[in-house]
């Protein structure tokens, strides 16, 4: 818990907050002449502290903002169908690179491609001939 007992500006990208933890943000200010301290806390101030504490520019992604980085890390989903009686399906998209990580999913248990060929802009998947249509999803990262 001592790791979490520090200000946001003292946290760095390696600081982990366990799931289910409460994060309290407090603002300390000098007391005024009346003896009462006051300081307006805006969501913008809290947001700026979080952005400073967790520098998104150090993310290993092209997008240097939280939403863009999350979407990029999640990958791009592409779908297709292997028609009954066919053995190959080609999926084309500009996001497909020879250096991409490719995850392949099918809608029938126990079926996997016999061959996968990835070139810039397309993936060719080869399966055993199927008696019925086979739904395919490919996630590109």
Our CA angle for 82, 88, 91, nearest 5°, is 75
Average the pLDDT over 126-137 and give the result. Answer: 96
Q: Quote the CA–CA distance of 45 and 10 in Å, as a whole number.
A: 16
Whether residue 118 has pLDDT greater than 60: yes
Q: Supply 42's token pair.
A: 């805006």
Label residue 63 by pLDDT band (50, 70, 90).
low
Long-range CB contacts for residues 49-56, cutoff 8 Å, separation at least 24 = 49/8, 49/9, 49/25, 50/8, 52/8, 52/9, 53/8, 53/9, 53/10, 53/11, 53/12, 53/15, 54/11, 54/13, 55/13
For residues 125 and 102, the answer to whether their CB atoms sit within 8 Å is no
Average the pLDDT over 82-106 and give the result. Answer: 94
User: Closest by alpha carbon to 88, among 122, 44, 39?
Assistant: 122
Q: Helix, strand, coil shares of the chain as percentages rounded to 5?
A: 20, 25, 55
Q: Quote the CA–CA distance of 29 and 69 in Å, as a whole number.
A: 35
Q: Supply 103's token pair.
A: 């995850």
Q: Quote the CA–CA distance of 140 and 59 in Å, as a whole number.
A: 18
Mean pLDDT for all residues in the chain: 75
Q: Supply 123's token pair.
A: 């993936």
């Amino acid at each position: 818990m001592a790791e979490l007992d520090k200000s946001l500006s003292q946290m760095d990208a390696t600081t982990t907050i366990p799931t289910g933890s409460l994060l309290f943000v407090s603002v300390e200010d000098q007391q005024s002449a009346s003896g009462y301290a006051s300081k307006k806390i805006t969501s913008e101030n809290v947001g700026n502290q979080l952005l400073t504490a967790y520098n998104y520019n150090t993310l290993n992604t092209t997008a240097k903002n939280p939403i863009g980085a999350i979407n990029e890390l999640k990958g791009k989903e592409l779908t297709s169908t292997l028609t009954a009686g066919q053995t190959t399906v080609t999926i084309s998209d500009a996001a497909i690179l020879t250096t991409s990580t490719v995850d392949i999913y099918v809608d029938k248990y126990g079926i996997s491609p016999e061959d996968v060929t990835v070139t810039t802009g397309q993936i060719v998947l080869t399966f055993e001939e199927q008696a019925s249509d086979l739904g395919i999803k490919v996630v590109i990262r």
